[in-house]
Amino acid sequence: MHLIFDTDEAFSFETLRTSAYIPYGGADIGEVISTADRITPGDTESWHREWRALADRIAAIADGCAAGGHQVSARGAYLRASNYYRTAEFFLRDDPTNDPRVSDASGRAVDAFRSAMGRQDEWTQVGIPYEGVELSAYYLNVTGDEPGPTLLAHGGFDSTCEEMYFVVGEAARRYGWNCLIFEGGGQGAALRKDHLAMRHDWEAFVTPAVDVALKLPGVDPDRIALMGMSLGGYLGPRAVAFEPRIAACIAYDGIFNINGIVNLAGGSAAGSPGQDADPAQQLAALQGLIDRRTELPTQQRWVLSNALWVFGADTAEELAAEVVKYDLAGVADKITCPTLVCEGENDQFAPGQASKLYDALQCPKTFIRFTAAEGAGEHCQEGALNLFHQRMFDWLDDTLR
């Protein structure tokens, strides 16, 4: 599915991702199309420039509405600005730690989102203690003091907890679920502000999140579900294997391991040696890709650069050693809670991974394949969130009834 950029798959998918949040106030289709039309395919500088200009323009509208006392208008504009700032920052990965545009745009995305949240009563900002820092989180309470079902939700390889509001937070409110959206290492402010790398043992972040959730009003301790998005389709299942307080898990979309997904440890990208090559050759090929990544196609350049940042690696050897840890072999059979595994028919980021996870599970399990004919075949059903939410929340209601 191509939206605007039929010659640049990475730009096309991220444009689709940005526009996917229209039903939940994260974008307007006219703003998306007119902005994308001014971007040169493959030119990450023009991507940043145009989305940043849009974000600044919508943020200024939000500020004007707020100053005039138009709180509903301000909230809506702040939400869109937050998503657009996130989009503007997305491809700035050549040197994200030292690029001031990364911290500036991501900080503005957070500020705009919190300005929006401050203009309603249902969402509150909370912190999750983790090794001397506080992980960002937001809590939606729809059941008041009455115990109700609660969804914990986090992202994956490139997520922020502010984005998770559009992914599932607002949908949770419509379906009558409390919701705690949060982030761990390698994500959002945890990466950009606290410099926390991602961990394969994701329960290190989920267990503190559950500890906090159990102290929040409206949370039924017997009806806590966990949803992990994208790489979270590995992270979430990994966590529930070691966190017995989770009553249901959604792998959105399911991932069994990441070694083959990102073509890193195997070094099979761009004509370099494949999985059966000598390990030294694989590492040399991977290091070669890293060294010349700015010359690679947009998607491959971004994956390599983002992986180095997210996993806290500097060399091919460090990156390969980290990637190989993300594997549910010997772990999936320890999951006991009911688990929903989702798959997009045309998912090019994790092909075949959902089936591998589903086959390895020995707990009560459900598999849903979203098809291209439904308009839902992309990774994480981008562009078809209404259908995804209908099926996921119906499954949750039936499972934790």
Known catalytic residues? 230
Residues 226 and 118: their CA atoms lie apart, in Å, by: 26
DSSP code per residue over 182-231: E--TTSHHHHHTS-PPP-S-THHHHHHHHHHHTTSTTEEEEEEEEEEETT
25-42 burial, b at 16+ Cβ within 10 Å, e below that, comes to bbbeeebbeebbeebebe
Residue 85 DSSP label: H
- In angstroms and rounded to an integer, the radius of gyration of the C-alpha atoms of the chain is 20
Q: Are 401 and 177 in contact (CB under 8 A)?
A: no
Residues 401 and 398: their CA atoms lie apart, in Å, by: 5
For the record, the structure tokens of 145 come out as: 């003091």
Return the closest-CA partner of residue 159 out of 214, 224, 101, 236.
Answer: 236
Q: Any residues with CB less than 8 A from the CB of 100 and at least 6 apart, and which?
A: none
Q: First and final CA of the chain: distance in angstroms?
A: 36
Return the closest-CA partner of residue 22 out of 31, 12, 9, 14.
Answer: 31
